[in-house]
Amino acid sequence: MSDTKTASAPTVDVARLREIRATEPEAIGAALASRVRRPLLQGDGRLFIVAADHTARGALGVRGDALAMSDRGELLRRLVVALERPGVDGVLGTPDILEDLALLGALDGKVVVGSMNRGGLQGASFEMDDRFTAYSARSIVDSGFDFAKLLVRINLADRATADTIEATARAVTESAALRLPIMLEPFVSDWVEGRIVNDLSTEAVVKSVAIASGLGESTAYSWLKLPVVPDMEQVMAATTLPTLLLGGDPAESPAETYESWARALAQPGVRGLTVGRTLLYPPDDDVEAAVDIAAGLVHPGVSAASQNA
């Protein structure tokens, strides 16, 4: 996959990252401890988060390229490009990604979201067993990060869902006790011809919202991360929890995708957008342009102001 725009980004020295990891692992802790933090919400009170936790679940594909996200240096370069654009508030990732970004100094002044359960590997017979294999609420706080995120897929035909829901409730409870905001990404899912498919009908999304909203001993710090579906008005009527929109897999044309995001962002209770592959690997490979369009949707006027500066 060619990349003319990413090539102009600050160089990501992959060799240096490898050397640090082998000979100075304590540098990771030092980088996390010295990170410049910011309030979770500021200005207009909205958030635009770039997601990069896909790889830990074995989800490396973008459109027709099954290994699009497999080159770690290339992924980091694209993330650095995105994080330097105006209006990008932060990043969501697993420890491997976030620690690399910390060593690169790319997390300063950003909201950092730790991803928790990535054990339901894409395509596995145990995919519905979404075990917590990355961050815990405690480790997110200890790392000096700002937000937790978990995936809760609800499959009424799969017994593993019960364990996932129970583990999710414990994570929400622990996060609330630590006063750590946590976003829950719920789906009603099913096995279809040997693979997990999420039901994106309005009824299914509303049901997932109702179930996820009730998890944990306190929901004082709970947020939702929801897919964009046609009837977002009905979806958002189902909850009072602050909500970020999920960009989803890149399928529609960019223009259609941006239009659907804009409509959904106008709904009461929607606080912003969390997008990964759609912006990091756009069809024309222009990461800066794709990120700027999304940033302008979340923070109206940001991209125009940056271009006129």
- Does 1 map to a domain? no
Q: How many domains does the chain have?
A: 1
- Does 27 map to a domain? yes
Strand partners, 195: 192
- H or E, element range at 113: strand 111-115
Q: Which pLDDT value is given to residue 245?
A: 98
- Does 255 map to a domain? yes
- Angstrom distance (rounded) from CA 28 to CA 19: 12
Query: How sure is the predictor about 77, in pLDDT bands with cuts at 50, 70 and 90?
Result: very high
For residue 60, the SS3 value is: coil
CATH code of the domain in which 140 resides: 3.20.20.70
Q: For 220-250, write each residue's pLDDT tens digit.
A: 999 999 999 999 999 999 999 999 999 866 6
Q: Which pLDDT value is given to residue 301?
A: 78
Tell me the residue range of the domain where 123 lies: 6-36+44-308
> Which of 301, 248, 242 is closest to 279 using CA atoms?
248
Residue 9 scores a pLDDT above 80: no
Task: Tell me the average pLDDT across 142-159.
Answer: 97
- Does 247 map to a domain? yes
Count CB atoms within 10 A of the CB of residue 164.
24
- Does 297 map to a domain? yes
- Does 54 map to a domain? yes
* Helix spans in the chain (H): 14-23, 26-33, 72-83, 95-103, 137-142, 160-177, 202-213, 232-236, 254-265, 277-280, 287-298, 302-308
- Does 256 map to a domain? yes
Choose the weakest-confidence range: 95-104, 155-164, 167-176, 253-262. Answer: 253-262
Choose the weakest-confidence range: 57-71, 126-140, 147-161, 262-276. Answer: 57-71
Task: Tell me the average pLDDT across 262-275.
Answer: 97
Q: What CA–CA distances, in Å, run from 13 to 27, 70, 76, 78? A: 15, 17, 10, 13
